[in-house]
């Protein structure tokens, strides 16, 4: 079925040089399984190399560019590590779901290549994070936050006028509730145990 002018305008042209020197006016990927990308079937679009190129171009199209935002260098490194690790996990799942025959096809080889490239990228970014001392900085931030929380609790206990014995019970109570906090399932006040000394 012939394409309408509007449909045709949505696709780039093949652009390959014909024998007479003119550019091919067929649309990109015409007659192939990668319509809209690469050469048409008359200019090698169905060959393994062209199909592999088309698969890579299609994968690149999935990547979208966002607006620029201000970010600290350490935060950018950590974000890139997280993104790359997520992409690696997705590619690993895609490759793992393919049978050996599919892996031999151009699309399969492209995905395997992308998986290997992403694995190398994760390693490089992780090394950059380590070289920048991000792990040590995160530990310092955590220690600082712990000190701040400790000072905050001291002021709260002083404000409430808690006795020495009551202060001793605060530590075990906090430790008992921490697992629920890390799991995002903090109990409601109605679920809390009865306070010691309550009527």
The DSSP bridge partners found for residue 54 are: none
Tens of pLDDT, residues 15-41: 888 888 888 888 888 888 777 778 888
Cα–chain center distance at 180: 27
Is-contact 36 27, C-beta < 8 A?
yes
Q: What is the pTM of this model?
A: 0.45
Is-contact 108 98, C-beta < 8 A?
yes
Write the CB contacts of 13 (distance below 8 Å, at least 6 apart in sequence). Answer: 23, 24, 25, 26, 27, 28
**What is residue 123's predicted lDDT score, i.e. its pLDDT?**
92
Write the CB contacts of 11 (distance below 8 Å, at least 6 apart in sequence). Answer: 27, 28, 29, 35, 36
Distance between CA atoms of residues 177 and 186, nearest Å:
8
End-to-end distance of the chain based on CA atoms, in angstroms? 84
Tens of pLDDT, residues 63-119: 555 567 787 888 888 888 888 888 888 888 888 888 889 888 888 888 898 889 999
Top-confidence residue, 93 or 150: 93
For the chain, give the number of residues: 199
Closest CA to 165 of 174, 157, 177: 157
Residue 152 scores a pLDDT above 60:
yes
- Sorted by where each begins, the domain ranges of the chain are 5-47, 73-132, 145-179
**What is residue 199's predicted lDDT score, i.e. its pLDDT?**
45
């Amino acid at each position: 079925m012939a394409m309408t002018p509007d449909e045709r305008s949505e696709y780039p042209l093949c652009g390959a040089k014909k024998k007479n020197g003119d550019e091919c006016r067929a649309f990109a990927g015409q007659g192939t399984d990668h319509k809209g990308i690469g050469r048409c079937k008359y200019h090698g679009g169905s060959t393994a190399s062209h199909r592999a190129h088309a698969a890579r171009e299609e994968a690149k199209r999935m990547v979208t560019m966002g607006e620029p935002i201000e970010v600290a260098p350490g935060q950018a490194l950590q974000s890139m590590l997280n993104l790359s690790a997520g992409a690696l996990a997705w590619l690993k799942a895609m490759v793992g779901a393919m049978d050996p025959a599919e892996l031999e096809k151009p699309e399969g080889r492209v995905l395997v290549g992308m998986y290997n490239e992403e694995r190398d990228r994760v390693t490089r970014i992780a090394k950059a994070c380590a070289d920048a001392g991000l792990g040590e900085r995160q530990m310092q931030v955590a220690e600082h936050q712990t000190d701040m929380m400790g000072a905050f609790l001291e002021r709260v206990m002083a404000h409430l006028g808690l006795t020495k014995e009551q202060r001793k019970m605060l530590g075990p109570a906090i430790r008992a509730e921490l697992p629920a906090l890390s799991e995002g399932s903090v109990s409601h006040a109605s679920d809390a145990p009865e306070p010691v000394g309550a009527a």
